[in-house]
A and B are shown apart, each in its own frame.
Chain A
Amino acid sequence: QQQVKQSPQSLIVQKGGISIINCAYENTAFDYFPWYQQFPGKGPALLIAIRPDVSEKKEGRFTISFNKSAKQFSLHIMDSQPGDSATYFCAAGTNFGNEKLTFGTGTRLTIIP
């Protein structure tokens, strides 16, 4: 049973535009929601993460929006750059000793000039 649904599967955005990737989860026990960025040939790298006690977190051009009642969260990349072209994974997990992360299926983002 897939517990984290991610969309879209692929996304093409023009340079300078806003990239938006959405995720929805089912398990209400999740209390940690990270986003990972993966370049070809590399392992995923943590980009930004949020806990359900806040509705938004911003780090530079990257923002997570979180809607606890809808069980949804999204990643917004402002002023998208060609260097942002990568695969993005949302994930969900629980704190306190449980290291297991449940990942979405990934979004391949391409930023075109």
Chain B
Amino acid sequence: KAGVTQTPRYLIKTRGQQVTLSCSPISGHRSVSWYQQTPGQGLQFLFEYFSETQRNKGNFPGRFSGRQFSNSRSEMNVSTLELGDSALYLCASSFTLAGFSTDTQYFGPGTRLTVL
């Protein structure tokens, strides 16, 4: 079974631009979570989607948004990029049964975003 895939793997943007990152979960996984990883803050939870609905949200500004499609693929968007948005953005998927989690989150390799 293929793992979680994320595209693109690397992105370079300038301040003020917007960016869209994509995540394809493991087949059969309906929950997709996004995390931001930086050297100073570690891994921080952005949001989680299940069945096309945002179910949980972390403490990030409204510039960070996401969505999930009917095939469970998810996109994350960051508008008006700031230098501090430079980070590794990780997507994780997990299997859920009747809406309940089996806990294990499987991470993709991440998208490295650099904001100049």
Q: What is A's interface to B at a CB cutoff of 8 Å?
A: 32, 34, 36, 41-46, 49, 89, 91, 93, 95-106
Contact = CB atoms under 8 A, between A and B. Distances in A.
Contact of A101 (B4, B45, B99): B45
Contacts of B55: 97-99
B42 A99 contact: no
Contact of B43 (A42, A89, A95, A99): A89
A86 to B, nearest CB: 14
B111 to A, nearest CB: 10
Contacts of B43: 44, 89, 91, 101, 103, 106
B100 A97 contact: yes
Q: Is the interface of B mostly helix, strand, loop or mixed?
A: strand
B104 interface: yes
B66 to A, nearest CB: 13
B74 interface: no
Contacts, number: 70
A103 B108 CA distance: 16
Contacts of A41: 109
Interface of B: 4, 31, 33, 35, 41-45, 48, 50, 55-56, 58, 90, 92, 94, 96, 99-101, 103-110
B100 A101 contact: no
A103 B48 CA distance: 15
A91 B42 CA distance: 11
Contact of B107 (A44, A49, A98, A102): A44
A98 B101 contact: yes
Contacts of A49: 103-104
